[in-house]
Amino acid sequence: MNRRSQYRVACLGAGYFSQFHYDAWKRMPYVTLVGSADHNLDAARATGLPAYAELHEMLVETKPDILDIILPPGAHKEAIDTALEIGVKTIICQKLFCIDLAEATGVTERAEAAGANLIVHENIRFMPWYRTIRSAIDAGQIGAPLQASFRLRPGDGQGPRAYLDRQPYFQQMPRFLIHETGVHWIDTFRFLFGDPTAVYADLRQINPVISGEDAGFFLLDHPAGVRTLFDGNRHCDHVSDNHRRTMGDAEFEGTDGTLTLSGDGSVRFRAKGDVTAEILLAPDTAGGFGGDCVHHLQNHVINALRTDSGFENTARSYLDVLRIKDAIYLSAETGRKIFLVES
C-alpha cells in the first residue's frame, strides 16, 4: 500500500473552473496544497498558495506528489511532459485531454513508460446521482436494462453574448457540443452500461455567433442490447433552480422499472406497473459543482493511492472516450452509423 499521512498537491491553472478544484483539495484529509501556477500570476496569488508564473519552477521548488492540471486541452501535452521530466508520479489532467486522439495517445504512452499515474479529470460519473443510479442498476432494481436517455438543457446558448460571461472560448470552438460537453455522457454511459459498439449522430448549429454545433443527438449501442441517447440543446432549459447542477434530466429504463434523474439532483425509482415512485436520492444540497463531484473524483484518486485499489479514469481508458467522440462527428458528417468494434 502507498499510505502516507499527507500528499503534496500542486495545481496548474487558476481560471474559472479551478475554484472547484482548490476548494475540494482544501477540504480533504491527507492533502497539503503546496502551490499554484498560472501565466496570470495575480490569479495564482489569489488562491492564497505560493504562486508561480511557470510550471517548471513550481515543480522544482514544491516537489509535489500530485500535479492537478486545470487548463484547456491545448496546454495539456506540454504540462504533462514537463511533469514527467521532473518526475511527478501522479498527474490529474482536465478533460477533454489534449487536442486530439494522437496527442493524447502520445502522452499516455510516455506516462506509462515513466511509471506515472495519469488520470483524466472526468467528473460527471462522480456526481452522486450517477453513483446511485449505478448501484440501483447493479442491484437489479430495474431488471435487465433496456435503454437510457439524457436531455442536456443548460439554457445558456442563446443570443450574441452566449457563454461570454463564464467561458468565452466556447464561441470559437469549431467542435463544441460534443467535444466540450457531450464527452461527459460518453464516459457516463460507458460507466453505467459498458463500452459501446456503434454510434449514430445528428448534429446542428443554431446560434450563428458560435463556430461549432450547439444541438444534436447521438445514439450508442451497448452490450446486451442496451441503447443510450444523448439529446443535447444548449438553447433550451429544464426544471431546476440551478441549470448547471445536473445540466438536464434523464431516464434509465429496464424490464422491471424506471430510474428518473431530475434537475434538483434527486433520483426516483418507479416499478413497472406502479403509478408512484420511491425516492432513492434526495434533492442535492451539496456545495460546489454538480453535487460536489470534483471533490468526489479527487477523493477517489487519494483513496486509490492509499489503498492501491486502482483508478477509474486512467488516461489509457479515456482514449476510448476520444475515439467514440471522433466517431460521433464522423457519423454526423457522413449520415451513417459508425461501428466501433469489428464484427
Length of the chain, in residues:
343
Determine the Cα–Cα distance for residues 18 and 35; give it in Å rounded to an integer.
Answer: 13
The CB-based long-range contact list for 54-62 (8 Å cut-off, 24+ gap) reads: 55/12, 55/79, 55/82, 55/83, 56/82, 56/86, 58/10, 58/12, 59/10, 59/83, 59/86, 59/88, 60/86, 61/35, 62/8, 62/10, 62/34, 62/35
Contacts of 281 (CB under 8 A, 6+ apart): 128, 129, 132, 265, 266, 267
Q: Which domains does the chain have, with CATH numbers?
A: 7-121+295-312 (3.40.50.720), 125-281+322-339 (3.30.360.10)
Indicate if the pLDDT at residue 1 is higher than 80: no
Segment 61-86 shows an average pLDDT of: 97
Q: How many helices (H) and strands (E) does the chain have?
A: 9, 15
- Grid cell 446558448 — which residue? 157
Segment 272-281 shows an average pLDDT of: 98
pLDDT of residue 342: 63
pLDDT of residue 2: 59
Indicate if the pLDDT at residue 52 is higher than 80: yes
Angle (nearest 5°) at CA 101 between 99 and 104: 70
Is 0.85 surpassed by the pTM of this model? yes
Are 182 and 219 contacting, i.e. CB atoms less than 8 angstroms apart? no
Are 159 and 199 contacting, i.e. CB atoms less than 8 angstroms apart? no
pLDDT 10s digits, 97-119: 999 999 999 999 999 999 999 99
Are 28 and 6 contacting, i.e. CB atoms less than 8 angstroms apart? no
Q: In the structure grid, which three cell numbers stand for residue 126, read together?
A: 462522480
Indicate if the pLDDT at residue 30 is higher than 60: yes
Determine the Cα–Cα distance for residues 200 and 332; give it in Å rounded to an integer.
Answer: 7
Contacts of 72 (CB under 8 A, 6+ apart): 94, 169
pLDDT 10s digits, 137-179: 999 999 999 999 999 999 999 999 999 988 898 999 999 999 9
